[in-house]
Structure 1
Amino acid sequence: EFNSFHVIWKSISNTAHKEPLNPYSITFKQGIQHVQHTLQILHHFVDGRDEIILFKCKFDKCKPKISKMNDSDVLLHDIYKHLPHYPIIQVHWEIKEYFMVSYKRTIVIERSDLLKSGPSEDISLNQKTKFNPLLYECDIHKLKIIKDTVDVKLTRNNGLQKLLHE
């Protein structure tokens, strides 16, 4: 680090960030853009959010306070040179930022309508299942569920058969 001038800010997740800047060569506008770019990269690698929705610096909540910025192209040196122990200081900028995942990196999910009552298939009772050497013990639960659904279908059909038989 070339100097001891640091800009500190907290993100929405209440994480403190610290960035060294050269106050003799960077304007306030460039400093804000640098912080914005740093946050954009950070959010991109953490959770893919890199499109800016909102990025705003609240001047009245900065410490030490920044007076109304008429010209954002003023050097950071000119803003903070009156402070004691300058340039060995830490300034706190109050930044409100929101990022989102850009639309070009999202996928479209279309809802497909499922049939509420599918065609019923006749299951023959004489049909024997073939031995499956790849059947695991964990699949027994799945087989019981399948057996229960088959039994339900058979009982429905038996009721209809009894009715039609009479």
Structure 2
Amino acid sequence: MHITQEIARPHTLAIMVDNEPGILARIAGLFTARGYNIESLTVSDVTQDQAVSRITIVTSASDHVMEQILAQLDRLVPVHSVTDLTALGAHVERELALIKVRGVGDHRVEALRLAEVYRARVIDATTSSFVFEVTGGREKIDTFIGLMREIGLIEVARTGIVAIARGNGS
């Protein structure tokens, strides 16, 4: 008897829903009730009349489990569409982070030098600290945060992943 264990891999889901109270809780509850972890979650209305919202969720699951998740999401009444952007292939993912760092003496110069390398913008500065804004992929932001930790990281705020298919796909 041969048992194959499926490997969980990250999936980025784009879910179009009616913009109504409780829908986010219902979707998050679907994940929670089945023991699926949500690694990143962003929500915003995307229509002029604010009737439809786009929820972007990053989760890790095997292909079999992902099929179940997609089917369960698709059955929810206020859900218009569910797209696994990872399965589609080419898509763009970005995240924004605000990173507060101590900045005095040589650490101040090094923080500014690294910010330039990572194209982080200074959006607030005092004589003893900076707040940087950095956008990009998760790995870029994780690396920048790691470098700032060595300098004197104070606080981090992250938006979570937003993603969209490349080309004409939805």
Whether these two folds match at TM > 0.5 is no
Instruction: Decide which structure has the larger Cα Rg and report it.
Output: 1
Indicate the structure with greater strand content: 2
Q: When the two structures are superposed, what TM-score results if normalisation uses the length of structure 2?
A: 0.25
